[in-house]
Chain A
Amino acid sequence: MSAAVAAERTGLFQALARVREVGLFAVLAALALATAAINPRFLGAQGVKDILEDVAVTALLCVGETIVLLMRQVDLSISSILGLTAYATGALFIAHPAMPIPLVMAIGAVGGAALGALNGGLVAWGGVPSLVATLGTLYVFRGADFAWVKGAQINATSLPGHFLGLATAGVGPVPFLALIVVGLIALSGYALRHYPAGREYFALGSNEEAARLAGIDVRRRLLLGFICCGAIAGFAGVLFTARFGTVDATAGTGLELHVIAACVVGGVAITGGVGSVEGAAIGALLLATISNALVSLRVPAFWEQTIEGAMLLAAISLDLVIARHTLALMRSGRRHG
């Protein structure tokens, strides 16, 4: 494949990703409006605040996972990393109640980055496939969490009020938590698209051999990608504690598959090279909106999960159909033009 064709293909996929984001947004808006038509509270101040609070941590995790998925890798250990830093946050505040929040956030991110570096090292230098490496560290990190925490639990009552305020207070119906996450999404989205280093993640996932030949240091890029993902998961752990206030050794269990699902719904290809952090975040928002809407619409509790699963499958199938259709349209457009 010549460089020009490759560039054109990348451009095409980028355009496709945009189309997906717009489509997702339309689905999201339709769903929200339809639900609100039946239950106006759904889009009331408290309703919006609830959804944003629900989605903030997942959306943030999606940012890190997207970076890894772009490289055609996967990180299953994010939920365990989150669990460790979430408890560490609580333990830090109990030991030093006056600790400044930014410092705790930094500690969470650095701790997560260190764990991410372990993943990255295994993948880049150990030659361990990422699914195996991160399934392994999912167990190792969670085991360490259990060994450390045992049966203990941190309660909201032992955390400083201004820290919990990150989730409960905010600007209008938008909690600070969501503002922080939106800021991070915008920042990482911009960096991925506009910095050469960011574009290298796309290159790596599209065609690793070509990326190597183009002079990209593949191992270094892999390592950095996993470090970013770990740091974000670590930071998300801090926000998790602010959001829920109660943390035990099981915090975040099972979140990894939910996050990957959100990324896929948001148009991030599991086969690498395609997607955006904004799309993934919208995917997370869509999933959260669906589950909140089901409760709002008084769907019996037992069927909620069924419908969520079906919606997820519908989303990825529809996405694929639209993508193929658009691709065909664009190709024929090019041929004629």
Chain B
Amino acid sequence: MAEMLAPLRRWEVVIWLLVLLALFLGSFLSPAFLTADNLGNLAANLSEIALMALTSTMVIVAGEIDLSVASALGMCSCLLGLLWSLHVPIALAMLAALIAGALAGAFNGVLVTWLGLPSLAVTIGTLALYRGLAFGLLGDKAVADFPTFFTNLGFGTVMGTALPNPMVLFFLLAVLTILVLHATPFGRALYAIGANPVAATFAGLPVLRHKFLLFVLSGAMSGLAGIVYTARFSSARGDNAEGFVLPVVAAVLLGGISIFGGKGSVIGVIAAVFLIGILQNALALIDVSNDILTIVTGSLLIASVLGPNLAAAVESRLERRALPGGRRRQPRRENEA
């Protein structure tokens, strides 16, 4: 019994099965669902959240959190727009947006690692700060007259297919993130840091330097997502991507990353991003309102932790009954921050 359930204890497996189930459900609910155009549009719409979820995964694995990602996106998008409207070449403006994102991340990193402030508090502050700067840069203006080749980067698809360009970028970066997180010393160090920063320090890992780097990466990714957003909508304005932050965090957590750090894989997070996107699209196609999706998302999030916990409890009870005096299974996640 326990053997059979073993793969299901791995959340990544469960969530990919849920993605398959959602795809099946979608095609069953609406004939319009399983078409290349619809799936392409569905994926394109997830671009920014998917990109930011990759770096947010790393940040949360290391036991920190970055709530400023969406505001940094808005700020970078506005900077890009402002520079373009001042006749700066678009390539240079894009580079500036990336650098601005990295700097925004570095600022978070400094406050968290040098001053030792809790990242939750710091990034609530910079969430307001960067959004404020976004509005400060462009005010009530919206920059829209971007060159076609630039907007095609965001809006276009790969040569005649329905695969949107930003998704190619996402897949490349997703593979890179998987490799970095699961197959390099740096990645393993992040898990060690998240699991126990004190032990990681004693083991000689540069905890603070790694964390600083993570915030820089997270900020740079916001810059990149800002470029994608601006290209996709051909629009730079202060409120760009407002409200994207909780969906990013929700996707990471739903993907099985422990909020306490040290656990989970980016493969699960990718599945989580698509699971939410597929459900949203499928429900919209049958005219089910967004409210239901909100409820489903929240419930899934809770179930993603509650489910395995309950399963573990049931399993350990079964096992104890089968093997009297047998070693207790590892206890469930405890409530410590």
The residues of A with any CB-CB pair to B shorter than 8 Å are 72-74, 122-124, 126-133, 135-144, 146-147, 208, 218, 222, 257, 260-261, 264, 270-272, 302-310, 312-313, 316-317, 320
Contacts and interface: CB of A to CB of B under 8 A. Distances in A.
B246 A309 contact: no
A310 B122 CA distance: 10
Given A129-B260, A143-B292, A261-B121, A306 B132 contact: yes
Contact of A306 (B121, B129, B258): B129
B305 A320 contact: no
A79 to B, nearest CB: 11
Chain B: interface secondary structure? Answer: helix
B231 to A, nearest CB: 24
B125 A136 contact: no
Q: Residue among A73, A131, A137, A218 with the most chain B CB within 10 A?
A: A131
9 contacts: A126-B309, A127-B334, A135-B249, A144-B291, A222-B335, A257-B124, A264-B121, A270-B120, A316-B121
Contacts of A138: 246, 298
B132 A308 contact: yes
Contacts of B220: none
Interface string B248-280: 011001000011100000000000000000000
Contacts of A304: 132
Contact of A139 (B121, B136, B250, B310): B250
B3 interface: no
B337 interface: yes
A23 to B, nearest CB: 17
B139 interface: yes
A148 to B, nearest CB: 9
Interface residues of B, number: 56
Contacts of A303: 132, 135-136
A143 B125 contact: no
- Which 7 residue pairs across A and B have the least CB separation, nearest first? A139-B298, A309-B129, A306-B132, A143-B294, A305-B132, A309-B128, A143-B295
A268 to B, nearest CB: 10
B118 interface: yes
Interface in B123-145: 124-133, 135-136, 139-140
B305 A128 contact: yes
A133 B302 contact: yes
A137 B302 contact: yes
Contacts of B294: 139-140, 142-143, 146
A129 B111 CA distance: 25
Interface string B296-337: 111111101110011000000000000000000000111111
B6 to A, nearest CB: 20
Contact of A313 (B126, B260, B295): B126
B197 to A, nearest CB: 13
A129 B124 contact: no
Given A132-B305, A146-B294, A271-B118, A302 B135 contact: yes
Contacts of A222: 335
B128 A317 contact: no
B167 interface: no
A309 B121 CA distance: 11
B125 A261 contact: yes
B201 interface: no
B116 interface: yes
B117 interface: yes
A321 to B, nearest CB: 8
B239 to A, nearest CB: 11
A270 B125 contact: no
B305 to A, nearest CB: 5
B295 A320 contact: no
B100 interface: no
